[in-house]
Amino acid sequence: MKTHKTIAFIFALILLSGCVDRNEYAYKYESNPTFGWGYAEFFGKFYSRYDINKNVLSLSLFTDSLKVNDKGNLTGFGQYLFFEDIFLNEGDTILPDGVYNSSDNYHEFTFTPGSEYENDGLKYTIGAYMVFVEKDASKSKLQLIKEGSFTVNSIGSKQSINCTLILDNDSVIHGKFTAPLPYLDESANASLNVRKRKVNVQEFLK
């Protein structure tokens, strides 16, 4: 009789285990990051050779505990948000206040979504993406931004940036940044067709 009760108890546990929401055990990434520092890079009419006569700017935002070493590698842990191509009016050299939307049309107040391509066996990313740098390195990853928007508001010497972004795994990021934003003038390199990224993310490409 005791054997029958034991078997029934084990069977009940198996049934209950089937009702557990497996998502409860999925690794949770921060979906509402606050970015504490960052910088923008101005490249002028970088794509004028393709008859795209808009000024181009890149934007990098980091959460507080994330740093970049002298080799361009991310250290610490947190989130790194990168917009490679933000298109501005010809007269703008910094981000004017307004709403910026993801698009492939190269119009002002748009940014290019993220995509990936392969060349000689190496993977590269272009456009916009988010890097999650976790304490457990095996959980660190790069996610492309497939669509979304961000809003810029100037507040004295600070710029406020609030974004709603949809990643390529369909998760949604609501991020915010309010701080002085340094602008680096890289437009002299535009005529040389040179545009070297300051942060290396190759290790996060799977």
- Tell me the CA distances in angstroms from 141 to 53, 115, 130, 133, one per residue in order: 34, 15, 9, 7
pLDDT tens digits, 151-185: 999 999 999 999 999 999 999 999 999 999 999 99
CB 165 within 8 A of CB 175: yes
Q: How far apart are CA 36 and CA 177, in angstroms?
A: 6
Q: Which helix (H) or strand (E) holds 7?
A: helix 2-17
Q: What is the pLDDT of residue 124?
A: 81
**Helices (H) then strands (E): counts for the chain:** 1, 14
Q: How confident is the model at residue 9 (pLDDT cuts 50, 70, 90)?
A: very low
CB 178 within 8 A of CB 198: no
CB 194 within 8 A of CB 204: no
pLDDT tens digits, 26-60: 678 889 999 999 999 999 999 988 899 999 999 99
For residues 205 and 183, the model is more confident at 183
Q: How confident is the model at residue 12 (pLDDT cuts 50, 70, 90)?
A: very low
Q: How far apart are CA 96 and CA 94, in angstroms?
A: 6
Would you list the DSSP string of 37-104? EEEEEEEESTTGGGT--SEEEEEEEEETTEEE-TTSBEEESEEEEEEEEEEE-TT-SS--SEEEEE-S
Q: How confident is the model at residue 193 (pLDDT cuts 50, 70, 90)?
A: low
**Nearest C-alpha neighbor of 90 from the set 37, 137, 43, 53:** 53
Both tokens of 128, joined, read 């916009």
The mean of the pLDDT values for the chain is 86
Would you list the DSSP string of 178-199? EE---EEE-GGGGGGT----SS
Give the mean model confidence (pLDDT) for residues 105-110: 96
pLDDT above 90 covers a percentage of the chain that reads 60
pTM of the predicted protein model: 0.84
